[in-house]
Amino acid sequence: MQAWERPRSTFHWGQKTYIMGVLNVTPDSFSDGGQFNTLENAIAQAAQMIEDGVDILDIGGQSTRPNADEVPLQEELDRVVPVIQAIRQKFEIPISVDTTRSQVAKEAIGAGADIINDISGAVFDSEMLATVGKLHVPIILMHMRGTPKTMQSLTQYENLIDEIVEFLRERIESAIAHGITQVMIDPGIGFAKKYEQNLEILRRLEAFRSLDCPILVGASRKSFIGHILDQPDPKKRVWGTAAACVSAIANGADVVRVHDVAEMRDACRVADAIWREKKEV
């Protein structure tokens, strides 16, 4: 895969694992809702993640937890745009915006964001791919079914991995047709996936290499980890998350999307030393 040369960073895929830090400026996200939904708290959290070694900040203004309701467009804009502007005034860190709306994508890039992260695979908004193509920025396309409100009732697959691969292949082709030259894929752990299906994705992550795009894995604090650990509190799933991230790296992930940057930085550095760095014999 070719490196992504962006104004604020160059991503050399395969050389290291990049860490995307989650910054939810929402009142209702599943593990940190309400913590960072003021400008002051969001900037402080961004600064802490940068100090801890994050590579990309992923800013989201709408919860995508199971059963979440959609927020009005203007409310999403009011949440994310001022935060992006404030962070951009202080830091040169690459920023992705977690949105399914082309208008949010456009205004976020105008405010200083660099990448669009669309959990719907750019399905929810028919203008998303055309908008991103005109903006000349990368897009992250994730697999899911339904909406956050309905997705957990849509978990029946005849062949889980093949169906996800084919969905992503079609979305990649559509993105390219709209002039988008840099596409990342995300198999969508926890989105219309049951416990065993999430584990299967992690075990068979290498199957997505056939799509020839960087692979993002977002397992951080998710319920399948809580199920394994019998841990209902998402904030206490840090080391379970680390194990999931290491597994993802061993099987080909390029980016891990996480809440606990400092801890995952250590886990990724050790995993990279084992699986990525060539040793002299």
Question: For 241-261, how does the pLDDT look when each residue is reduced to its tens digit (9 = 90+)?
Answer: 999 999 999 999 999 999 999
Check residue 267 and give its pLDDT: 98
State pTM to two decimals.
0.94
Asked whether the predicted pLDDT for residue 1 surpasses 60, the reply is yes
Which letter does DSSP use for residue 236 in this model?
G
**Residues 158-187: what's their mean pLDDT?**
98
Q: How confident is the model at residue 35 (pLDDT cuts 50, 70, 90)?
A: low
Per DSSP, the three-state class of 189 is: coil
pLDDT at 281 over 70: no
Mean pLDDT on 253-281? 89
Other CB atoms within 10 A of residue 120 CB:
23
**Facing residues of 5 across strands?**
10
CB under 8 Å to 36, separation ≥6 — which residues?
23, 24, 25, 42, 45
Provide the pLDDT confidence category of residue 27 given band limits of 50, 70 and 90: confident
User: How confident is residue 70, by pLDDT bands cut at 50, 70 and 90?
Assistant: confident
Read off the pLDDT band of 278 (50, 70, 90).
Answer: low
Does 86 score more than 90 pLDDT? yes
Asked if residue 214 has pLDDT above 90, the reply is: yes
- Token pair of 264 as six digits: 């995952």
Tokens standing for 271? 């995993």
Find tokens 């904030």 and name the residue.
235
* pLDDT recorded at residue 37: 66
The span from the CA of 220 to the CA of 144, in Å, is: 17
Q: For residue 179, count other CB atoms closer than 10 A to its CB.
A: 13
Yes or no: say if 144 and 192 are a contact pair by the CB < 8 Å rule: yes
Q: Of 33-42, 188-197, 255-264, which range is least confident?
A: 33-42
Instruction: Please measure the distance between the N-terminal and C-terminal CA atoms of the chain and give it in whole angstroms.
Output: 27
In the predicted model, is pLDDT for residue 280 greater than 70? no
Amino acid 184: pLDDT: 98
Closest CA to 29 of 72, 66, 82: 66
CB atoms closer than 10 angstroms to residue 214 = 22
Residue 257 Cα distances to 125, 251, 263, angstroms: 23, 16, 13
Cα gap 168→205, rounded to integer Å = 13
Task: Dump pLDDT digits (tens) for 107-131.
Answer: 999 999 999 999 999 999 999 999 9
Residue 78 parent element (H or E): helix 73-90
**204/185 Cα distance (integer angstroms):** 15
pLDDT, averaged across the chain: 93
Tokens 């219309």 locate to: 192
Q: Is 205 left (phi over 0), alpha (psi -120 to 50) or beta?
A: alpha
Active-site positions? 222, 257
The pLDDT > 70 percentage for the chain reads 94
Q: Specify the range with the lowest mean pLDDT, choosing from 11-15, 65-69, 76-80, 181-185.
A: 65-69
Phi, psi of 251 (to 5 degrees): -105, 10
CATH 3.30.465.10 applies to domain 17-273: no
Task: Please report, rounded to a whole number, the percentage of residues in the chain having pLDDT higher than 90.
Answer: 85
Per-residue pLDDT averaged across 47-53, rounded?
98
